[in-house]
Structure formats: structure tokens, C-alpha cells
């Protein structure tokens, strides 16, 4: 199992290292980082979100207990970050993104392969739901919080119109909504269009990880900040523990679904917070380092979770 976890984590390290080396040998200048980020934000990631949602059936998505357990695990972890960071003087937008980092699992790139390895085909549906929940709903909530924070006018209706307008212009929110609409129509996507979407979407994660490596090389840090340490500890320890309490003692869920939720919550930080920091032109250093360090730490923590799972009983 340990070897399987390292196999899943190694591509993450390798892609970040590739970007870092490309920057160090001046193969890719700083201007490339901005272009690569724009490609991920406006093309690759929306295509990935649209493709994922267009293949998800509505019956798969209607799992109230699972949603509540996994979502409350995220919310509780974010509230823990808010509590321990209450004396920080960082801008609110930066704190929102850091709070998102503490709850944003690398569900698609690492989570789905690991769940298939541990649980077999039966683990695919809940792992896909965890991925969609993370990359769609958590993204939407984080953007909504940032946009609300940017409003200076106390009037309600103008504020609502401005927030809704900003969200409707965001491709990371429009793409999954369009995917759900397509899935609801029950129509088969033309093969050529589906391959086009899949090709662009497949580039999202590797390009984002290479962009993180470029960023780390261009913005080196001498030591980890307290914010990064908090993010990593909350992500790898608090979120899976809190999710475990919810799925086993609060909500009545099938054992396999409960175990998938815990494993997904234990995953390292994904690339979403880094991309969100780039969208809002904030300092992405904390997100970038949290992704790297949590991925390193997850080799141990995920191995322990899988050892604890053992042979899950499917009911």
C-alpha cells in the first residue's frame, strides 16, 4: 500500500519539480507562468469541470447524507483555520484562499486513482462525488465569499447583482453548470466534441502543477510561514478526523461511502487555491508551498489511513 501511495504522489512531485527546473535553467521565463495560469483558468480547468459534470448522472449526485458529512467536514476545517488565524493581519481575500487551501483535496489527480486501488470499481461513484464537490461547490463558495468581501456598498440588492454578475462571468462556475445542464438533457455528446473537451481538460492538472513549480522557483521562501504550517496540519490531520466523526457517528452512511469520504478528506492540497490566488492577483506563495508540503506529508498520512481501512466491508 505504501508503494501505491508513493506511486500516486510521485507524479505530483515530478511535475512541480519540472516547472521548478524549467525556471532555474531559464527555459521558461516569468511571462510563461502568467500565460500557463491563464490557459488553466480559462480553458483547461473549465473543460475538465464541464467534462466531469456532463458525465455525472443526477441520481449519483443526490446523496444528502454524504454531501452533508463531507461538506461539514470541509466547513469545520475552514472554521478551525479561521479560529487559529483570528489574530493574523493578512487581507481577508488571502485568508479566504488560505482557508480554502486547508479544505481543498487533490481529489481528481490523486483521489480517484487511490479510491479505485483501495475499493475497486465500487469506490468510483463516491470518489467522483468528492471530486465534484471540491472542484465545483468549494470553488463557488470561495469565489462568492471573496466577491462579497470586495463589496463596499451596504445596499443589499446592488450587492447581490454585483456578486451574481461576477459569478456569471467566471468560467470556473459556468463550466460545471453547463455540464450539469447537458447531463440533465440526457443527450450523447458528439465524439469529436467529447475528445476535444477531454484533451483540453486533461491538461489542467499537469499544467497547474508545472505553473506551481515555476512560481516556487521565481518566489523562493527561506522558511515555512505559520500560515503554511496551519494549512498542512489542518488538511492532513483535522479534516480527515472531523470527516470520520461525521460519517461514522453522525450520519447513517454505507461503510464504503464513509471510508471513501475519510480517504478523500485525507488527501493533500489540490491546485485550486493556487489558481484562485492567480485569478484575484493575490500572493500565491502560501498555497503553492502548502501543495508541495502536504503532498510530501500525505505519503505517510494516507498510508496510515489505508492501513486503518484494511479490507473495507461493503454494505
Q: What is the pLDDT of residues 100-151, one digit of tens each?
A: 999 999 886 677 767 877 787 777 778 878 887 887 778 878 887 887 777 6
**Torsion sign over Cα 179, 183, 187, 189:** positive
- The whole-number pLDDT of residue 111 equals 79
> Using CA atoms, how far apart are residues 75 and 81, in angstroms rounded to an integer?
10
Collapsed DSSP state (helix, strand, coil) of residue 269? strand
CB 295 within 8 Å of CB 228: no
Which residues are bridge partners to 269 per DSSP?
A: 105
Domain layout of the chain by residue ranges: 2-309
- The whole-number pLDDT of residue 157 equals 66
Given a cut of 50, the residues of the chain with pLDDT beneath it are 311-315
What class has domain 2-309? mainly alpha
Written as nine digits, the cell of 207 is 499544467
- The whole-number pLDDT of residue 70 equals 93
- The whole-number pLDDT of residue 150 equals 74
Proportion of the chain above pLDDT 70, given as a percent? 84
- The whole-number pLDDT of residue 262 equals 94
Torsion angle in degrees (nearest 10) through CA of 194, 38, 134, 168: -80
CB 271 within 8 Å of CB 294: no
> Using CA atoms, how far apart are residues 129 and 53, in angstroms rounded to an integer?
10
> Using CA atoms, how far apart are residues 101 and 309, in angstroms rounded to an integer?
25
pTM for the model stands at 0.75
> Using CA atoms, how far apart are residues 24 and 217, in angstroms rounded to an integer?
7
Amino acid at each position: 500500500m505504501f508503494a501505491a501511495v508513493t506511486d500516486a504522489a510521485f507524479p505530483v512531485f515530478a511535475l512541480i519539480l519540472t516547472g521548478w527546473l524549467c525556471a532555474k535553467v531559464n527555459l521558461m521565463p516569468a511571462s510563461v507562468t502568467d500565460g500557463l495560469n491563464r490557459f488553466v483558468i480559462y480553458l483547461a480547468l473549465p473543460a475538465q469541470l464541464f467534462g466531469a459534470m456532463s458525465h455525472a448522472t443526477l441520481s449519483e449526485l443526490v446523496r444528502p447524507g454524504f454531501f452533508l458529512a463531507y461538506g461539514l467536514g470541509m466547513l469545520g476545517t475552514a472554521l478551525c483555520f479561521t479560529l487559529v488565524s483570528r489574530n493574523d493581519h493578512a487581507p481577508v481575500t488571502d485568508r479566504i484562499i488560505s482557508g480554502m487551501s486547508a479544505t481543498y483535496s487533490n481529489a481528481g489527480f490523486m483521489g480517484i486513482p487511490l479510491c479505485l486501488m483501495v475499493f475497486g470499481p465500487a469506490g468510483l461513484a463516491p470518489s467522483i462525488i468528492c471530486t465534484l464537490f471540491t472542484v465545483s461547490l468549494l470553488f463557488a463558495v470561495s469565489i462568492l465569499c471573496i466577491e462579497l468581501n470586495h463589496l463596499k456598498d451596504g445596499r443589499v440588492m446592488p450587492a447581490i447583482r454585483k456578486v451574481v454578475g461576477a459569478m456569471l462571468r467566471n468560467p470556473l462556475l459556468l463550466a460545471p453548470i453547463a455540464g450539469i445542464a447537458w447531463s440533465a438533457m440526457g443527450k450523447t455528446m458528439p465524439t469529436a466534441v467529447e475528445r476535444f473537451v477531454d484533451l483540453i481538460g486533461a491538461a489542467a492538472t499537469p499544467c497547474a502543477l508545472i505553473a506551481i513549480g515555476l512560481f516556487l522557483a521565481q518566489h523562493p521562501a527561506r522558511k515555512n510561514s505559520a500560515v503554511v504550517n496551519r494549512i498542512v496540519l489542518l488538511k492532513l490531520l483535522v479534516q480527515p478526523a472531523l470527516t470520520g466523526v461525521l460519517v461514522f457517528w453522525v450520519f447513517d452512511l454505507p461503510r464504503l461511502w464513509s471510508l471513501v469520504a475519510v480517504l478523500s478528506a485525507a488527501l493533500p492540497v489540490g491546485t485550486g487555491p493556487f489558481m484562485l490566488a492567480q485569478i484575484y492577483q493575490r500572493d500565491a506563495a502560501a498555497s503553492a508551498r502548502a501543495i508541495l508540503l502536504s503532498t510530501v506529508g500525505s505519503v505517510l498520512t494516507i498510508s496510515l489511513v489505508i492501513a486503518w481501512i484494511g479490507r473495507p466491508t461493503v454494505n
